[in-house]
Amino acid sequence: MNLYQLLETGFPKDKSACAIETHDGLYYSWGDLEKATSKMANLLASLKLPQGSRVAVQIEKSPEALFLYLATLKAGLVYLPLNTAYQSAEIEYFLGNAEPAVVVCSPKNLTWVSQVAKKTGTKHVFTLGEDRTGSLLEKAAGLSDKFKTVKRSDDDLAAILYTSGTTGRSKGAMLTHGNLGSNAKVLQKFWAWRKGDVLLHALPIFHVHGLFVASHGALLNGSKMIWLPRLDTKELIKHMPRSTVMMGVPTFYVRLLLDPAFTKQTAKNMRLFISGSAPLLTETFNSFKERIGQTILERYGMSETVMLVSNPYKGDRVGGSVGLPLPQTKVRVRKDDGSLCGVNEIGNVEVKGPNIFKGYWRMPEKTKEEFTSDGWFKTGDVGRWGGETSAGKVPNDYLCIVGRSKDLIISGGYNVYPKEIESFIDDMPGVDESAVVGIPHPDFGEAVLAIVVGKPGSQLNTDAMIAELKGKIANFKVPKRIILVSELPRNAMGKVQKNVLRQTYAS
């Protein structure tokens, strides 16, 4: 079934009800949402693109950006969202790899995006600004506000989400209508979405968390969203008394707790605070409970799998644990020798279910590598059943994520692959070699740190290096600091000991 048709089953009958309220006081009814989505779907359909064509989108968050996503589903095309922080070299890679038929960018980026699109052979370039400007809306304005949703089966592609790769090159995770639809239905029940819920939405909508988990939840439940362009704790506090559900990365909760204006009274109508995308510190979990009197529900997922495991809505939510496998998802934890781990034994987390992606875009070999011979997806996360965390005893059927076998840093909920950053640093004049590691950071959870060895006689200026990187890669990937050393620690095999670097520079 086309995912749009599934979501639509939840839209309220009263089309004048509010679907989206923006931070600057605009109201979009469900009727507005449907009409705008249909107009955009008509525009996409007028391009007469073959099934499977990609619509790549790098635009600021706005209600219209969400309608464009829904229009892409409705028109049966494949949505490809891109982080707004990506710079032109990164966009060139994504467009070159995905070969989208359509690119939609911010009006301010039109010149360079058009140049990249021309190089990579994309024919149609539209613009969409956060303030309802741009050629997409202009072209769609005169078209019909009715559109018959194109038929798609569960196995057809709905979206491609690029996730960074251990080799430094991003891989496009192919998600089907069935993957996204089944997960949305499971979460609706598991998190007990109900009539009258209002979602406070401050996440970006170019990743699974904000686009699928949060938006699908509200859409499928016919719930209003209070739509904030980005995380701003003052805005969260202002709108929270009229909200019932919020989803955020751990930084959301860390920052809320730093604001003395955030009180029990602010959260008086909230029934659910959800955290994910990165580990929530038990310290944050406990402080939140103490100060606000509510327990954050932590859950675990991936771009390739959508949501996998969650603390329960009713029942114990345990700090430091991500909870129970969701209905329909199977989770196993295995040792390196392939045997299953018992309670409190650490191993590799592997998963199965209708939510697991179809594979990496045009990377059959990579896809094969990431699945076991008996069809389980290797998450690259390391975990254990039960045991104990600093918040207390964990039930035996609850999962704890204790680390990662993949060399990955998660900073403020964004993934950074050290290999990619190292390759940029190694290419700089005067650099002999580098090692990039994640170190604890009070706001972002982990921060990117680069340790660099210069060539003999070179005079490296770390501030200039950081400034140069800012022009080349997304800002969240840029090391917060670069430390110059004369050599990197290595083991007997000559491999750089990143654990030693993490320990040495932790503080």
Is residue 251 near ligand AMP by the rule CB under 6 A?
Answer: no
Pairing of strands 306-310, 324-325: antiparallel
Site string for ligand MCA, 427-466 (x = CB under 6 A): -----------------x----------------------
Site string for ligand AMP, 399-418 (x = CB under 6 A): --x--x-----x----x---
Nearest to 11 by CA among 223, 254, 259: 223
Contact indicator for 27, 21 with CB cutoff of 8 Å: yes
Contact indicator for 483, 294 with CB cutoff of 8 Å: no
Question: Which of residues 53 and 277 has its CB atom nearest to ligand MCA in the complex?
Answer: 277
Nearest to 243 by CA among 290, 196, 279: 196
Question: Which of residues 58 and 415 has its CB atom nearest to ligand AMP in the complex?
Answer: 415
Choices 23-31, 171-179, 295-303, 391-399 (CB under 6 A): range interacting with ligand MCA? 295-303
| Residues paired with 224 in a beta bridge | 198
Measured from each CB, the residue nearest to ligand MCA is 412
Q: Could you give the residue ranges of the DSSP H alpha helices within 293-449? A: 364-369, 418-426
Write down how long the chain is.
507
Question: Which of residues 183 and 303 has its CB atom nearest to ligand AMP in the complex?
Answer: 303
Q: Which partner in ligand AMP, ligand MCA, none is near 381 (CB below 5 to 8 A by kind)?
A: ligand AMP
Residues binding ligand MCA: what is the number (CB under 6 A)?
22
Measured from each CB, the residue nearest to ligand AMP is 303
Choices 105-113, 295-303, 365-373, 493-501 (CB under 6 A): range interacting with ligand AMP? 295-303
Query: What CA–CA distances, in Å, run from 309 to 264, 306, 325, 374, 456?
Result: 28, 10, 4, 21, 50
The interface with ligand MCA within residues 118-157 (CB under 6 A) comprises none
- The letter for the amino acid at 233 is T
Is residue 204 near ligand MCA by the rule CB under 6 A?
Answer: yes
Is residue 187 near ligand MCA by the rule CB under 6 A?
Answer: no
| Residues paired with 104 in a beta bridge | 57, 126
Name residues whose C-beta falls within 8 Å of residue 108's C-beta, 6 or more positions apart in sequence: 129
Coil/strand/helix, residue 405:
coil
Residues binding ligand AMP: what is the number (CB under 6 A)?
19
Site string for ligand AMP, 208-227 (x = CB under 6 A): x-------------------
Is residue 302 near ligand AMP by the rule CB under 6 A?
Answer: yes
Choices 3-11, 64-72, 188-196, 205-213 (CB under 6 A): range interacting with ligand MCA? 205-213
Is residue 411 near ligand MCA by the rule CB under 6 A?
Answer: yes
166 DSSP assignment: T
Q: How far is the CB of 208 from ligand MCA (least distance, A)?
A: 4
Contact indicator for 488, 499 with CB cutoff of 8 Å: no
99: left (phi over 0), alpha (psi -120 to 50) or beta: left
Q: Which partner in ligand AMP, ligand MCA, none is near 298 (CB below 5 to 8 A by kind)?
A: ligand AMP
Contact indicator for 150, 128 with CB cutoff of 8 Å: no
Contact indicator for 385, 396 with CB cutoff of 8 Å: yes
Residue 384 CA to residue 256 CA, distance in Å, equals: 30
Write out the residues near ligand MCA by the rule CB under 6 A.
203-204, 207-210, 230-231, 249, 251, 276-277, 301-303, 411-414, 444, 475-476
Write out the residues near ligand AMP by the rule CB under 6 A.
163, 208, 276-279, 298, 300-303, 322, 379-381, 401, 404, 410, 415
